[in-house]
Amino acid sequence: MESCKLRLYEIAPNERDRVINIDTSFDADMPIIIGRNQDCDIQIGVIGRKVLIPHPSVNRQDEKIPISSLISRIQATIFRDDQGRLRIRSGNGKDAAFGLRDGSTDKVITRPWLLGPGAYIKLTPESGGYRCWLEWAAESCDADTPTLGFSQWQSENLQEEIDEQGKAIEALTTSLSQVKQESDAINKAQDLKIRSTEKKLARLKILGVVAISGLLLTLGITSEQLQEIVQVVAVLSTAAGGGAILLQKEAA
Single out the residue of 174, 151, 173, 46 nearest to residue 104, CA to CA.
151
The C-alpha atoms of residue 54 and residue 66 are separated, in whole angstroms, by 9
Q: Where in the chain are the domains?
A: 6-139, 168-251
91-147: pLDDT as tens digits: 988 888 888 998 888 889 888 998 988 889 999 988 889 999 999 987 655 444 444
Single out the residue of 36, 37, 39 nearest to residue 10, CA to CA.
36
Q: Phi first, then psi: what are they for 21, rounded to 5°?
A: -75, 135
Q: What is the dihedral of CA 180, 185, 188, 194, to 10 degrees?
A: -120
Write the CB contacts of 136 (distance below 8 Å, at least 6 apart in sequence): 5, 6, 7, 115, 116, 117, 118, 119, 120, 153
Q: Mind giving me the DSSP string for 93-139?
A: SS--SS--EETTTTEEP-SPEE--TT-EEE-S--BTTBEEEEEEPPP
Classified as helix, coil or strand, 219 is: coil
Architecture of the CATH domain 6-139: Sandwich (2.60)
Least confident segment among 113-122, 166-175, 222-231 = 222-231
CB atoms within 10 A of CB 98: 17
Q: Which pLDDT belongs to residue 226?
A: 67
Q: Amino acid identity, residue 187?
A: N
Q: Which pLDDT belongs to residue 66?
A: 86
Q: Chain-centre distance of CA 155, in angstroms?
A: 22
> What pTM was computed for the model?
0.60
24-34: pLDDT as tens digits: 888 889 999 99
Q: Which pLDDT belongs to residue 247?
A: 43
